Structure 1
Amino acid sequence: MAESSSYLTATADAYDAVADLYADLARDSLGRLPLDRAILAVFAELVRAAGPRPVAEAGCGPGYMTAHLRDLGLDAFGVDLSPALLEIARKDYPDLRFELGSMGAFDVADGELGGLLSWYSVIHIPPPELPPYFAEFRRVLAPGGYLLLGFFESEGGPVLQFDHKVTPAYRWPIDDMADLAGKEEFVEVGRMLREPLEGERFRRGHLLMRRDPATAASTSGMEPSSP
């Protein structure tokens, strides 16, 4: 997909500027989040059961989530816009692959991935720009492949911009996020809403989606019938 570069550049620059601090805060964050770990474990189990395909983390930052996916038995790699965060990821996890790039334009073939994790990365995409990202997620996932989204939820309200500590970000109603994905052949497997813990400001939304294999089959090219 073609992408406007202004908000992508601004996001990368903002994370580059705070890369070390952000990595220090994020590195051990899963330890106190049992519900988050639970939905990640379900995602990993479903992807493993579907067959041996690679999994991408879109917006991997300092790489701790990509490493967690690896620890859950997945062939995981990460993609991020921020060179500074990728430098940290490669240093902390030298056995994993991390690529500079946008989750709106993966350098992978159509249908190559068995799973895709977007963990609080779609939050920085301006709402009018978000639908094409789901089209890209559909492109890179195999029919039946799984998508897991983590984001800040707007608690029943509209999409809301908020003062994220790094760069502008948006809170989404979970139903609206599911509807956007549904327009690109994703069907919902499950969802998890988590209330904010101490030190957190907002409810967290998590959507586990699957690329509809029936729709993919019906729209794929077919061999012409014999005369």
Structure 2
Amino acid sequence: MQQILIVEDDVKIAQILIDYLRASEYGVTHLENGQDALDLLRRQSFDLVLLDLMLPGLDGLEVCKGVRMFSQVPIIMITARIDEIDRLLGLEMGADDYVCKPFSPREVVARVKAHLRRTGKLSAPPPAQGFTVERDALRILVDGAALPLTPVEFRLLAEMIEHPGRVYSRMQLLDLLHEDQRDTSDRAVDSHVKNIRKKISARLPDTDCLQSVYGVGYRFEMP
């Protein structure tokens, strides 16, 4: 049985999540305090963490930052603050995804299942098409055939393929554009993504594996 840790100080919201997750046959542990959660995660392994942003003790961002120093457990942030800065900061601290209050409990359960599947915690059928990253050769293969990528396009796509489902902000992707870190506009990210999509589409028509996340950036979903 997969084990989920819920860190949420709103008891009513936590209970709803507990009920839905247990109905989906997950084991659930609930904590209300950020420091308590960080301490528990140092002692005990979980398959996924649902982490509220605003917590007593340590807030969710600090908990997430602390967890990433010793664990890569999937973390889904829960927040009532919808401004873009908090969303991006949460992702840059190492969160894998976020949901905004008010949310549908069914959607949260669906996201939990999706992240567990990506990390190999649930059985899933193999993808219809295979992407292979060859970093030494600066190549990405689709079913054995190399995509005609520029070095910048290779860096962007390779990073996202190696972390499917993770949302990347434009600023995070911008850091990958140029190794010399010279200033560029985040519009350059959109331009490169557009070109990458065209090249993937030429090999995999009607496949939308490089997806936009409104107000944040992009994620790669295996077809």
Give TM class, smaller chain.
0.3 to 0.5
TM-score computed with the length of structure 1 as normaliser: 0.35
Highest CA radius of gyration, 1 or 2?
A: 2
